[in-house]
Amino acid sequence: MFQSILNLFFPKCCSGCDTILMANESVVCTPCRHNIPLTNHHLLIENEAYKKFYGRIPVEYASAFLYFHKKGIVQKLIHNLKYKGHEDIGIILGHWYSDELKEIILTLNADEIIPVPLHRKKLKKRGYNQVSTFGQTLSEKLNLKYNDEILFRKTYSKTQSKKNLLGRTEGIETIFDVHYTSKDHDKHFIIIDDVITTGATLEAAARALLKIPGAKISIICMAMAQS
């Protein structure tokens, strides 16, 4: 009864379009769920996300769940997740994408999920890493360890979305480093992030993890920018 009264005065709205959610809906309304642009990367190993990194870093697999378009549903979802504290968006995207990834993860023989980290100053300011709930949900659903301690960000930088292409790539190869022991040798790490744009941030994160002897890298993201 209390929840019904609460919903009456403070109705839950869709994170994709702001319409009031029906009783059987959670986070994203049914029309947005049907209209959300899927990449279907999981159907093809050498997909466009994989090709994004081909020749730049050795990746075993790469994929993104959704297409990111300016002023689209996915941009609204990522914005609400990243800046409005709607961490439940990461949870629901993790649930949806894990269903698509189960067979691929079995063939990859992966070991750990590694989130692209925020600098400690930005983490303190924002209060959370926007990819944490996505990664933790994938970890639970795919039975992989979630490790947010091995990779860290050395330098503080401005929000990537406010930079031009040159600004996004300038000096980025030095922003990450790793803490590891011999127990981390020969592991297959899956790096996760919110949106693949130029791929520079993910490339830098991968290069840091590849300092670990015998390391293999895959990349899984919530979305990928599509021109």
Q: What is the pLDDT of residues 190-211, one digit of tens each?
A: 999 999 999 999 999 999 999 9
Quick check: helix, strand or coil at residue 158? coil
Torsion angle of the four alpha carbons 16, 21, 23, 25, in this order, in degrees rounded to the nearest 10: -10
Amino acid 2: pLDDT: 47
Structure tokens at 150: 């091995």
Quick check: helix, strand or coil at residue 51? helix
CA 85 from chain centre, in angstroms, equals 15
Residues for the chain: how many in total?
227
pLDDT tens readout for residues 138-159: 999 999 999 999 999 998 766 5
Residue 28, pLDDT > 90, answer: yes
**Helix or strand (DSSP H, E) at 104:** helix 88-108
Cα distances from 120 to residues 65, 128, 134, 174, in angstroms, run 28, 10, 20, 16
Question: HSE of 155 in the Cβ direction (CA atoms, 13 Å)?
Answer: 13
Q: With left for phi above 0 and alpha for psi between -120 and 50, is residue 131 left, alpha or beta?
A: alpha
